[in-house]
């Protein structure tokens, strides 16, 4: 009996709707004649009026008849539609003489060809960033987090890849020479990496936070150099992230709420009498994960919060009840885990340092590839590193460094901002951008 490809595909799409949405797809949720309602809540890129879209009506694998190799999926599409209304979590589009489409079918969106004329830019805007950048030779792995620490020598770079492998490198000119390696147990989802000397031994301990899907818990593995090897010496039952720049960075911890994906307030990680623990005094994070926040003193007596909002903008506290906000979107982060039936988004880290007695905020903006097919080539295309200042109650970009790939995480050192770009081939290029 011949299987109806269209029916089979749409049934599968409906069954896996939540998982698909996590991958940044628009999904048909309602139809009223020619009007199609699309869920865009999982898309990182902005959808605008006038953008075009097509609904995927069928797919089948493309097989090389000689080798049997699967070359990917061949898709069939509806007629092209146009987005006519945009809401925060959904859009309405129209397809002329539209037939009935399956609820749960995926859609591909494209930016409109006709774009408004560009405003004349100043000479300063047109110039490339003059910051010094060290680009190390690409590494054959996908790095999701990195930092600097003293494991066997000062100023080593430590990385965590998407497979849970941790590597300590000694930089030499444009090359990273591996010194030590270790790996988290199989089946765990790595999230972020820190290296802080919490024990005050003169050497950094490595803190690798991960998600255990079997137990549905967020934990942190502690690794230390012992006899020329990198060994796990402890496991902490809370999430950790370093904030600050070497040598004054601090390791913070968060305990997730029991019945949801939101975290508790941040507390400093301490070590006493042979045990790690969290300080009793906490800092309000406004229910944001440590990856997407930072603290800084907005005056000599008060500490303020910088964080990535769920809407994608950055907010910086400038007084007891005063906040400055950015215009650009900074919530496009590839690192997600499913926790307690919710999808937890871990935004790329924010960094902050003082320059001429003024705070400079460093944030990454990833450019998403809209649509279902983007997942075949990488959900994100490239990124930018913005250096932002607070000016007249706004958080504005004073300098931008164009990146060759997208970014999961950043780190701050005494003189540089570290990042690892994910390139088209899945390799990573570590960069050190001067402050």
* Segment among 6-20, 21-35, 97-111, 298-312 with least mean pLDDT: 6-20
CA 330 to chain centre: 9
Closest CA to 362 of 393, 323, 389: 389
State both tokens at 391. Answer: 């000016």
Task: From residue 189, give the alpha-carbon distance in Å to each of 161, 211, 215, 266, 343.
Answer: 10, 5, 12, 22, 13
Confidence (pLDDT) at 370: 57
Confidence (pLDDT) at 294: 95
CA 342 to chain centre: 17
CATH class of the structural domain 129-434: mainly beta
pLDDT band at 120, cuts 50/70/90?
Answer: very low
* Segment among 32-41, 328-337, 397-406 with least mean pLDDT: 328-337
Between 234 and 370, the higher pLDDT residue = 234
Confidence (pLDDT) at 4: 46
pLDDT tens digits, one per residue of 283-316: 999 888 999 999 988 888 888 899 998 778 899 9
State both tokens at 89. Answer: 């979590």
State both tokens at 350. Answer: 């924010």
What are the start and end residues of each CATH 2.120.10 domain in the chain? 129-434
CA distance 37 to 55: 11
Using a 10 angstrom Cβ sphere, with 0-12 exposed, 13-18 middle and 19 or more buried, the burial of residue 282 is middle
Closest CA to 376 of 45, 72, 77: 72
Confidence (pLDDT) at 269: 98
Q: Which residues contact 1 (CB under 8 A, 6 or more apart)?
A: none
E strand segments, 273-341: 275-283, 293-297, 303-308, 314-319, 322-325, 335-339
Q: Which residues contact 431 (CB under 8 A, 6 or more apart)?
A: 133, 134, 135, 136, 403, 418, 419, 420, 421
**Mean pLDDT confidence for 137-151:** 96
* Segment among 134-148, 348-362, 398-412 with least mean pLDDT: 348-362
Confidence (pLDDT) at 359: 87
Confidence (pLDDT) at 74: 81
**Mean pLDDT confidence for 312-334:** 83
pLDDT tens digits, one per residue of 191-244: 999 999 999 999 999 999 999 999 888 999 999 999 999 999 999 999 999 999
Bridge partners for 159 per DSSP = 146, 167
E strand segments, 173-289: 175-183, 189-196, 205-212, 217-226, 229-236, 239-243, 250-254, 266-272, 275-283
Look at the block and give the residue holding tokens 């005050």. 200
Q: Does the structure show a pLDDT above 50 at 378?
A: no
Confidence (pLDDT) at 334: 65
CA distance 301 to 154: 33
Confidence (pLDDT) at 6: 40
Confidence (pLDDT) at 125: 38
Task: From residue 133, give the alpha-carbon distance in Å to each of 402, 403, 432.
Answer: 11, 11, 6
Between 379 and 278, the higher pLDDT residue = 278
pLDDT tens digits, one per residue of 402-417: 999 999 999 999 999 9
Closest CA to 263 of 197, 316, 192: 192
CB < 8 Å & 24+ apart, contacts of 119-123: none
Confidence (pLDDT) at 393: 83
Neighbours of 357 (CB within 10 A): 5
What are the start and end residues of each CATH 2.40.10.410 domain in the chain? 5-110
Helices of type H across 117-206 = 123-126
Closest CA to 428 of 138, 152, 207: 138
CA distance 106 to 117: 32
The CATH code belonging to domain 5-110 is: 2.40.10.410
pLDDT band at 129, cuts 50/70/90?
Answer: confident
Judge whether 428 and 144 are in contact, CB under 8 Å: no
Q: Does the structure show a pLDDT above 90 at 426?
A: no
3-state SS, residue 220: strand
Q: Does the structure show a pLDDT above 70 at 421?
A: yes
3-state SS, residue 173: coil
């Amino acid at each position: 009996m011949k299987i109806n490809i269209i029916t089979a595909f749409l049934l599968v799409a409906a069954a896996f709707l939540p998982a698909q949405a996590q991958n940044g797809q628009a999904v048909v949720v309602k139809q009223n004649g020619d009007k199609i309602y699309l869920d865009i809540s999982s898309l990182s890129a902005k959808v605008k009026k006038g953008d075009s879209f097509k609904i995927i009506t069928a797919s089948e694998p493309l097989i090389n008849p000689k080798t049997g190799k699967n070359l990917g999926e061949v898709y069939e599409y509806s007629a092209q539609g146009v987005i006519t209304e945009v809401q925060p979590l959904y859009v309405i589009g129209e397809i002329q003489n539209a037939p009935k489409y399956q609820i749960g079918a995926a859609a591909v969106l494209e930016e409109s060809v006709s774009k408004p004329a560009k405003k004349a830019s100043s000479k300063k805007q047109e110039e490339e960033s003059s910051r010094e950048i060290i680009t190390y030779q690409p590494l054959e792995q996908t790095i999701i987090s990195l930092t600097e620490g003293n494991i066997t020598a000062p100023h080593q770079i430590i990385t965590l890849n998407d497979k849970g492998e941790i590597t300590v490198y000694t930089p030499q000119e444009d090359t990273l020479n591996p010194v030590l390696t270790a790996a988290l147990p199989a089946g765990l989802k790595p999230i972020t990496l820190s290296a802080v000397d919490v024990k005050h031994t003169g050497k950094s301990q490595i803190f690798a936070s991960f998600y255990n899907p079997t137990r549905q818990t967020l934990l942190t593995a502690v690794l230390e150099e012992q006899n020329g090897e990198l060994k796990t010496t402890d496991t902490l039952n809370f999430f950790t992230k370093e904030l600050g720049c070497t040598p004054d960075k601090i390791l913070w911890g968060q305990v997730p709420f029991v019945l949801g994906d939101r975290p508790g307030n941040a507390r400093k990680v301490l070590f006493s009498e042979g045990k790690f623990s969290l300080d009793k005094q906490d800092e309000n994070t406004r229910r944001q994960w440590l990856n997407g926040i930072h603290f800084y003193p907005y005056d000599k007596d008060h500490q303020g919060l910088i964080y990535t909002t769920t809407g994608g903008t950055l907010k910086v506290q400038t007084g007891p009840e005063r906040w400055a906000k950015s215009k650009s979107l900074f919530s496009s982060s590839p690192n997600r885990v499913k926790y307690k039936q919710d999808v937890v988004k871990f935004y790329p880290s924010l960094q902050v340092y003082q320059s001429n007695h003024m705070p400079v905020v460093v944030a990454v903006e990833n450019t998403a590839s809209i649509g279902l097919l983007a997942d075949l080539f990488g959900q994100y295309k490239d990124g930018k590193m913005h250096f932002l200042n607070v000016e007249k109650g706004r958080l504005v970009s004073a300098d931008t460094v164009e990146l060759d790939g997208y970014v999961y995480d950043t780190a701050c050192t005494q003189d540089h901002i570290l990042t690892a770009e994910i390139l088209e081939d899945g390799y990573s290029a570590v960069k050190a951008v001067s402050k």
